[in-house]
């Protein structure tokens, strides 16, 4: 059985899709199956390092990227299918070619945000991208998604024409050595800061977290800090970084809220290792990779009551009401006062995180590859 894995999008991916693609590619090599031959469209390391289209600074650069992406999906990728004659094509970035193909397709739709949250995307771009997605959902296509929550959301918007399978992914393999320099540069004390990692997309609810942290400080009077690591939102409409930055100043938290921007893997490891707790107040997630990452590091997690996060944490996280500043602050206070609760969450988190491994990730794909859905 030959499987062609499309890795072209790695040249611009910076968020959870990048982690998904990189970990899937690694898992195919680390956990091979005797009946499956994997073919990569690109070398994952080289493609991830390609900076040709990263951080475009002009409309022309963005247009050139979209033209390059369209050319790849609609012409070059179908040519590779003709060349290698795979039994299965996997596209892990929402879009499969519109052209007819002589093989099964597995298209990964990580979430239903494009349908659920139209206000967060430029209208023309959303219409264009949804058109690409729908044109690629044809023939022998199976949809792969990340949680039962995402599956239900996709079925609501796409119907049940194509089978939808849930495959729990593996979080990022953070095997780098720990760089504690980031703690020293930002005057962070061990177990004296709350941590959040990710882009400043509006759906992450980071202004809510900043307000909750302010309330925490006022009630507890402890010398804690809040670290919000990561880059700006993916578009002007989605980007909450300017709002968070302004809010931090307005609340007088410049010395308490740390905004280090993008951080290297070595710094991520250090930040996880020494955090008091990880806080994830997001209003909508398809999966929630950092929740599992934090649990693997033995860090207790506070997360919103969003359905996907409840699904993957399975009681191993402390749940706060989505968008409720007061409730989130209360959960942060509770965790700081109750050491027994903190230890219980750590142990539950370590156990729950074992359900999300590279081996289980690739085994789920192997099962689907070798066992076609009925009617395909």
Does 343 lie in the same domain as 278?
Answer: yes
Q: Considering just the CA atoms, what is the radius of gyration of the chain in Å?
A: 21
Q: Is residue 201 part of a domain?
A: yes
Give bridge partners of residue 257 from the DSSP assignment: 226
Does 198 lie in the same domain as 160?
Answer: no
Mark out the alpha helices in 137-258 (DSSP H runs): 148-158, 181-185, 206-220, 241-250
Judge whether residue 263 has pLDDT over 90.
yes
Residue 282 or 125, more confident: 282
Residue 374 pLDDT level (bands cut at 50, 70, 90): low
Asked if 113 and 203 count as a contact pair (C-beta separation under 8 A), the reply is yes
CB-count exposure of residue 320 (10 Å: 0-12, 13-18, 19+): buried
Judge whether residue 134 has pLDDT over 70.
yes
The rounded distance, in Å, linking the Cα atoms of 199 and 179 is 21
pLDDT at 240: 92
Does 159 lie in the same domain as 234?
Answer: no
Does 324 lie in the same domain as 208?
Answer: yes
Judge whether residue 155 has pLDDT over 60.
yes
pLDDT at 15: 80
pLDDT at 56: 67
Residue 310 or 160, more confident: 310
Does 218 lie in the same domain as 148?
Answer: no
* Segment 220-247, tens digit of pLDDT: 988 999 999 998 877 777 889 999 999 9
* Segment 181-213, tens digit of pLDDT: 999 999 999 999 999 999 999 999 999 999 999
Q: Is residue 266 part of a domain?
A: yes
Would you state the structure tokens that stand for residue 142, as one six-digit string? 């199976």
Nearest to 115 by CA among 98, 94, 97: 94
Asked if 260 and 182 count as a contact pair (C-beta separation under 8 A), the reply is yes
Would you state the structure tokens that stand for residue 369, as one six-digit string? 């590859």
pLDDT at 373: 63
Q: How far is CA 336 from CA 99, 124, 158, 181, 347, in A?
A: 56, 46, 44, 25, 17
Q: What average pLDDT score do residues 93-118 get? A: 95
Q: What average pLDDT score do residues 285-290 get? A: 96
Asked if 373 and 5 count as a contact pair (C-beta separation under 8 A), the reply is no
Does 143 lie in the same domain as 12?
Answer: yes
Asked if 360 and 168 count as a contact pair (C-beta separation under 8 A), the reply is yes
Q: Is residue 315 part of a domain?
A: yes
pLDDT at 137: 95
pLDDT at 175: 86
pLDDT at 14: 78
* Segment 167-181, tens digit of pLDDT: 999 999 888 899 999
Nearest to 1 by CA among 371, 374, 361: 371
Residue 117 or 271, more confident: 271
Q: What average pLDDT score do residues 156-173 get? A: 94
pTM of the full predicted structure? 0.93
Residue where the block lists tokens 């790695």: 10
Judge whether residue 101 has pLDDT over 90.
yes
Judge whether residue 372 has pLDDT over 60.
yes
Write down the mean pLDDT value for the chain. Answer: 94
Asked if 215 and 245 count as a contact pair (C-beta separation under 8 A), the reply is no
Q: Is residue 376 part of a domain?
A: no
* Segment 26-82, tens digit of pLDDT: 999 999 999 999 999 999 999 999 888 877 667 788 788 889 999 999 999 999 999
Judge whether residue 282 has pLDDT over 80.
yes
Asked if 7 and 40 count as a contact pair (C-beta separation under 8 A), the reply is yes
User: How many structural domains comprise the chain?
Assistant: 2
Does 154 lie in the same domain as 19?
Answer: yes
Give bridge partners of residue 201 from the DSSP assignment: 239
Does 187 lie in the same domain as 101?
Answer: no
Judge whether residue 150 has pLDDT over 80.
yes
- CATH at 86: 3.40.50.2000
The rounded distance, in Å, linking the Cα atoms of 53 and 330 is 43
Asked if 259 and 197 count as a contact pair (C-beta separation under 8 A), the reply is no
Residue where the block lists tokens 């040519």: 79
Q: How many helices (H) and strands (E) would you count in the chain? A: 16, 12
Q: What average pLDDT score do residues 297-303 get? A: 98
Q: What average pLDDT score do residues 146-161 get? A: 95
pLDDT at 141: 95
Does 186 lie in the same domain as 119?
Answer: no
Does 305 lie in the same domain as 233?
Answer: yes
Does 349 lie in the same domain as 286?
Answer: yes
Does 196 lie in the same domain as 158?
Answer: no
Q: Is residue 175 part of a domain?
A: no
Share of the chain above pLDDT 90, in %: 84
Q: Is residue 153 part of a domain?
A: yes
Q: What average pLDDT score do residues 76-103 get? A: 97
Q: Is residue 159 part of a domain?
A: yes
Range of the domain at 32: 2-170+357-370
φ, ψ for residue 163, nearest 5 deg: -60, 140
Strand positions, DSSP E, the chain: 2-5, 37-40, 88-91, 104-108, 141-145, 164-166, 193-197, 225-229, 257-261, 277-280, 301-304, 318-320
Q: Is residue 336 part of a domain?
A: yes
Q: How far is CA 328 from CA 226, 245, 279, 280, 333, in A?
A: 14, 20, 9, 10, 9
The rounded distance, in Å, linking the Cα atoms of 48 and 91 is 16
Q: What average pLDDT score do residues 132-147 get? A: 95
Residue where the block lists tokens 């320099």: 181
φ, ψ for residue 39, nearest 5 deg: -125, 125
Judge whether residue 125 has pLDDT over 90.
no
Judge whether residue 278 has pLDDT over 80.
yes
């Amino acid at each position: 059985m030959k499987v062609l894995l499309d890795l072209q999008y790695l040249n611009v991916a910076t968020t959870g899709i990048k982690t998904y693609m990189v970990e899937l590619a690694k898992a195919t090599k680390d956990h091979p199956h005797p009946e499956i031959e994997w073919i990569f469209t690109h070398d994952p390391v080289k493609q991830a390092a390609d900076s040709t289209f990263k951080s475009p600074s002009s409309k022309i650069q963005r247009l050139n990227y979209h033209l390059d992406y369209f050319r790849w999906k609609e012409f070059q990728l179908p040519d590779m299918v003709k060349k290698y004659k795979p039994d299965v094509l996997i596209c892990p970035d929402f879009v499969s070619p519109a052209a007819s193909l002589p093989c099964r397709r597995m298209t990964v739709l990580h979430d239903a945000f494009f349908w659920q949250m139209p206000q967060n995307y430029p209208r023309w771009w959303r219409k264009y991208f949804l058109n690409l997605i729908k044109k690629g959902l044809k023939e022998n296509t199976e949809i792969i998604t990340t949680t039962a929550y995402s599956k239900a959301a996709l079925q609501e918007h796409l119907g049940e024409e194509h089978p939808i399978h849930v495959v729990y992914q593996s979080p990022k393999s953070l095997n780098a050595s720990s760089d504690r320099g980031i703690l020293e540069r930002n005057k962070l004390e061990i177990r004296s800061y709350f941590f959040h990692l990710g882009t400043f997309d509006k759906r992450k609810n980071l202004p809510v977290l900043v307000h909750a942290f302010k309330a925490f400080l006022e009630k507890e009077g402890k010398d804690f800090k809040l670290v919000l690591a990561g880059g700006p939102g993916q578009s002007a409409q989605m980007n909450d970084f300017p709002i968070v930055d302004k809010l931090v100043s307005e609340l007088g938290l410049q010395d308490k809220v740390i905004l280090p921007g993008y951080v290297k893997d070595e710094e991520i490891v250090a930040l996880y290792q020494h955090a008091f707790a990880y806080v994830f107040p997001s209003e909508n997630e398809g999966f929630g990779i950092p929740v599992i990452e934090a649990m693997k590091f033995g860090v207790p997690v506070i997360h919103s009551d969003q359905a996907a996060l409840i699904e993957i944490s399975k009681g191993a996280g402390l749940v706060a009401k989505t968008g409720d500043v007061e409730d989130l602050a209360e959960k942060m206070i509770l965790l700081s006062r109750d050491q027994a609760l903190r230890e219980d969450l750590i142990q539950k988190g370590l156990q729950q995180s074992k359900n999300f491994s590279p081996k289980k990730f690739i085994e789920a794909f192997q099962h689907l590859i070798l066992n076609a859905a009925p009617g395909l």
